[in-house]
Amino acid sequence: MRIFEPHAHMTSRTTDDYQAMAASGVKALVEPAFWLGQPRTSAGSFVDYFNSLLGWERFRAAQFGIRHHCTIGLNPKEANDDALRKEVLALLPRFLAKDGVVAVGEIGFDAMTRAEEEALDAQLKLAHEQQLPVLVHTPHRDKAAGTRRTLELVEASGMPPETVLIDHNNELTVTEVLASGCWAGFSIYPNTKMDEYRMVRVLEQHGPERILINSACDWGVSDPLKIAKTVRAMQDAGFEADDIDRVVWRNPVEFFAQSGRLIVDDLGERDLAASFEGNTVLRGER
């Protein structure tokens, strides 16, 4: 089974995770820019982080046969720093023009503040100007209200709904998101958000069209193999192979291909001793 992981924060993960993901069937992934666990205090730290997504992380994934893409944006949690928000928003066009960037994101709401809404609105407009899709984070608290307000802003922005992926959905938000014409993403987690069995029930109710699943693995308790585990749960529930392939491969390919920058070729065997700016994924002498 081929897998496209549409939301994984691999900066926070180890080479063991890349190896395990490749063994599970992951051939391509998207790494959204996000909050690293504590606030960044200067625009320069965003520049370094964005460059790492475009360079080192892309190289590191390729060493395990996984084609790496990223999304670039100002995350909602850090949008609440007024001075930093303005500086980072001014930087974004420079990075959104880079190869390997397949969407603006992840953007959206965290605490649903006025500053977050301003940043979301500005980045929706920027995505429209740059003709890029958008990956939207919905808040963990008051998710229904946050999702509803997000959809209102998407409609007001002029972004075609088919270019917008609303992520971190659950049973309370999926109907409204799909009715809007946007794509619906689901994060499958070990202890919170959705699990693979709840996801199976959602797919049984709504079908596979315009639905993506991801692990959203990061520095917290998360599992980079959750897509493969959801595949097994779908198989156990009697889903046809074509529907499974649609959810874990064709849907993310169709969505991110709208950027015109998606590459899903087979990287084949890689040399772990290859270097990027003098560094390899190996340690010590061979």
29: helix, coil or strand?
strand
| Structure-block tokens of residue 17 | 């995770």
**Average pLDDT score over residue span 54-73:** 97
Residue 285's pLDDT band, with cuts at 50, 70 and 90, is: low
**Whole-number pLDDT of residue 1:** 85
**Average pLDDT score over residue span 9-13:** 97
Q: Is the peptide bond before 106 cis (omega within 30 degrees of 0)?
A: yes
Domain boundaries of the chain, sorted by first residue: 3-259
Is pLDDT at 46 greater than 60 in this prediction?
yes
pLDDT in tens, 111-169: 999 999 999 999 999 999 999 999 999 998 899 999 999 999 999 999 999 999 999 99
pLDDT in tens, 260-270: 999 998 887 77
Residues ≥6 apart with Cβ < 8 Å to 188: 194, 195, 196, 199, 213, 214, 215, 216, 223, 226, 227, 229, 230
3-259 CATH? 3.20.20.140
pLDDT in tens, 155-177: 999 999 999 999 999 999 999 99
pTM tops 0.85: yes
211: helix, coil or strand?
strand
